[in-house]
Structures are given as structure tokens and as C-alpha cells.
Amino acid sequence: MLKEFKEFAMRGNVLDMAIGIIIGAAFGKIITSFVGDVLMPPIGLLLGKVDFTNMFFDLSGQHFAKLSEAKAAGAATLNYGLFINTIIDFLIVAFVIFLLIRQINRMKRQPEPAPASTKECNYCVSTIPIKATRCPNCTSELKAA
């Protein structure tokens, strides 16, 4: 059983998947940092100096100026600002994956078309085998292919 597991784990697909997951996790951290540290501050500034990380509803009935204060007090909060950041993270990652898959699909070789096995009769315009020397429909003599 251990031998079977080792063969399974060392197959190319499993290793490729593991590498993809590791790279994906690192890419996700980069995107999260990009959204939180680079993209959202200018958007917040344009919207009137809004800090999305501190946008929340306090469900406990108390009033806190920052989300960190509410969390320190153990208050129940609805963190819609963090949710907005997460949605933007997702949209960026989804768009980058879309672009990557689109490029990979372009790079795949298109299959060569199969050689023609039929041709058209010049007289009656019916479809006939490519090696035919006489049309079975109108009995016209044709040039050999």
C-alpha cells in the first residue's frame, strides 16, 4: 500500500498540482497586498478619505472608531469593508487566470485539417469520392485527382 501511495504521489499530475497550489497561494498573497496596500488607498482617497478596512457595522450596540478596537473588545461586527477588499482580490485573480488560460489556449497547436476525401462534380455539383473518374450521378467523365 505504501508503494502504491508513493507511485501516486510521484506521478506528474500530483506534483504539478502541488506546485500550482503553492504558486497560487503566493500569488494570492501578492494580490491581497496589491489590493489592500496599493489599489484601495487611492480609491478610498477619491471617495473622501474612506478606509475600507475600517468599514463595519457594530452588532453589539457599542460604538468603536476602528475595527481593531471592536475586535479587541470582542464585539460582534459585520465587516463589509474587508468583504469589498476580498471581492476585489477575487476579481483580479479571476481576470489574471482568464488571461493566462486564454494565452495557453492560443499557444496550443490547432489540429491540421484532414485531407479531403471527396470532391465536387464540375457538371452536376454533387459530392463524389476524390478518386472517382466518372460521376455516379450524371455519368460525366472527370479528370483523375
Domain range annotation of the chain: 2-108, 115-145
**pLDDT, tens only, 55-107:** 888 888 888 888 888 888 888 888 888 888 888 888 888 888 888 888 888 88
Helix (H) or strand (E) holding 128: strand 127-129
pLDDT band, very low/low/confident/very high, at 144 (cuts 50, 70, 90)? low
DSSP, collapsed to helix, strand or coil, labels residue 58 as strand
Overall pTM surpassing 0.75 (yes/no):
no
Q: How far is CA 64 from CA 48, 82, 92, in A?
A: 20, 16, 31
Query: Homologous superfamily of 2-108 in CATH?
Result: Large-conductance mechanosensitive channel, MscL; domain 1 (1.10.1200.120)
pLDDT of residue 12: 62
Q: Is the pLDDT of residue 14 over 80?
A: no
Beta-carbon contacts of residue 28 (< 8 Å; ≥ 6 apart): 89, 93
